[in-house]
Structure 1
Amino acid sequence: MKKFNKTEQRWIKPLPERVINKIAAGEVIERPAAVVKELVENAIDAGSDMIEIEIEKSGAKLIKIVDNGCGIPEDQIEIAFSRHATSKIRNFDDLNALHSYGFRGEALPSVASISRLRMVSRAQNASTGIELIIEGGVLQSKQPIAAPFGTTIEVENLFYNTPARRKFLKAESTETRHISRNAMGMALSRHDIGFQFKSNGKLIFSTAKDLTLKER
């Protein structure tokens, strides 16, 4: 580490947005299971009653979340990846009446900054969907695409640009177990939502909505 020279002038400058998002990602996203948790909670907040979770290589290679929620309108989809952009609150007093899982607006920009992310979303009143591709926090493309109502998010190569984070991931079986436990916990706590979880192409569990805890 370079020794600090008290006679050397150091200018205070604001960090670029991409750097801020990567730093924030270290706080929000510790492992693939955290990505699954954040994205599934977004799907629940979107009013979904069916959520599909698919992973490859314990989520390091692929995390895919498909929901049938309200979707994101075309004019808001890029804003969704801005830090602290949220549809959950409008002012400080709203914090006292939260009925959603997330509200900080940090999950999507954090995940997008440390992965190659593809989102396809179609709002309930839209005639077509919108596809967004973001790599390392940088928008690569945005275009209309045929899509069902709801949102699909594919997160590929998680931590590809933060190798130190990737190095500290546990064995594939351990990371998969963390994801499976989180997914099962959400499925058991939300009997009003159907869940499906696949790992490396294999169906791990599937639950229909409106089943009792015992039936699940």
Structure 2
Amino acid sequence: MNLASTAVTSTQSYSDYGLLLVGALGNVASVLGNDTAQVEFTIAEGGTGDVTIDAAATGIVLSLLSTQEIVVQRYDTSLGAWTTIVNTAVGDFANLLTLTGSGVTLNLSGLGEGQYRVLTYNTSLLATGSYTSLDVDVHQTSAGIISGPTISTGNVMTDDTAPTGTTVTAITNANGVSTPVGAGGVISRDNTARCTLIRMAVTPTR
């Protein structure tokens, strides 16, 4: 089936330049100020985002890239505070960091709706007094409605042409009953083996 989506993709770019935080995250996060390099961005309700973060180094920090880290935090409205979701100094997150000639890069995909903050810090005291720049590109896909023909005969699991970059996660029929779509899909058929698709309202994700 030829399906159309009202989901919209967009790209936003953010940057900041300021003092480089030095020390362990638990200590440096409490001394954030207007002079500290940090970037905030928001992913709209129902949307998802893929993010590329570049933290550039200057001066002596160019020789300390192995101790340069990136932190991504999400604002928890129930707590009224920022919570860390990614810290490249910890566990498997370290494998996500890429060293470049002038800094470090972090790529994240599938971030959900919410308000986010990006920080960078260096665990070496030799970096004290240094400056850094943060560049963040956010590629967002909004929530939307997929629409198309209401009746089709055939295999709706393999023959549909959903818009690139979207996945059907739930189907809502005309009576307002929503059915989640798992990895194997969901299909209903009558005794004639004809598949009938009633108008769908879906939440696309990247």
Q: Highest CA radius of gyration, 1 or 2?
A: 2
Q: Which of the pair is proportionally richer in helix?
A: 1
TM-score by length of 2: 0.23
RCO greater where, 1 or 2, for CA within 8 Å and sep 6 or more? 2
Q: Which of the pair is proportionally richer in strand?
A: 2
TM-score by length of 1: 0.22
